């Protein structure tokens, strides 16, 4: 799908409601021209927000690969995860490290991939989608 020069844009976000023991992950992919190409979200059950963030990145990379995307910029609103993926911070938590390694394996399918931190206000689509998934599951359980 992508040519060598085209860089697609992905946004990923996780949401967690500790009081309800429920988390979700959401992602969207835009074409280089800014058109929505794909989106998705999943309910993860009882997990932490950082696990949800990593899960959103993993699902985003799976989706991008399945669409034939080889060049991708990923935007997240969680500084910790961005810093870990950019190798600024080390991953000490074993659960997060497992997901970190999974991301590294998925990155092998891309010619170019990079991660950027954005404020939550610039990640509203995935934030809204992740929270909508939580609201739906809470209303239907």
| CATH assignment at residue 106 | 3.30.420.10
72-93 tens-digit pLDDT: 999 999 999 999 999 999 999 9
Q: What is the pLDDT of residue 33?
A: 96
pLDDT value of residue 89: 95
Residue 44 lies in a domain: yes
- 128 inside domain: yes
- Residue 91: inside a domain: yes
Question: What distance in Å separates the CA atoms of residue 16 and residue 5, rounded to the nearest whole number?
Answer: 36
Supply the range of the domain harboring residue 100.
8-133
Maximum separation of any 2 CA atoms in the chain, in Å:
46
Residue 50 belongs to some domain of the structure:
yes
Residues of the chain short of pLDDT 50, as ranges, are: 2
Kindly state whether residue 78 falls inside one of the protein's structural domains.
Answer: yes
- Work out how many domains the chain is built from and give that number: 1
Indicate the pTM of the whole model: 0.92
Note the pLDDT of residue 79. Answer: 95
pLDDT confidence of residue 17: 84
Within-domain flag for 33: yes
Residue 1 lies in a domain: no
Q: Among candidates 37, 38, 41, which has minimal Cα distance to 13?
A: 41
Name 73's Cβ contacts closer than 8 Å, sequence gap at least 6. 7, 8, 9, 10, 113, 114, 116
Instruction: Give the per-residue pLDDT at 140.
Output: 81
* 16 is a domain residue: yes
């Amino acid at each position: 799908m992508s040519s060598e020069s085209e860089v697609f844009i992905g946004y990923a976000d996780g949401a967690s409601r500790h009081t309800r023991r429920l988390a979700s992950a959401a992602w969207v992919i835009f074409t280089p021209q800014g058109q929505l190409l794909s989106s998705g979200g999943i309910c993860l059950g009882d997990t932490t927000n950082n696990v949800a963030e990593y899960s959103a990145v993993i699902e985003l990379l799976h989706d991008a690969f399945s669409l034939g995307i080889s060049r991708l910029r990923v935007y997240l609103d969680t500084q910790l995860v961005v810093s870990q993926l950019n190798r600024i911070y080390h991953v000490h938590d074993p659960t997060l490290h497992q997901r970190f390694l999974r991301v590294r394996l998925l990155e092998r399918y891309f010619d170019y991939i990079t991660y950027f931190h954005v404020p939550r206000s610039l990640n509203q689509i995935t934030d809204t989608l992740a929270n909508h998934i939580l609201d739906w599951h809470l209303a239907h359980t």
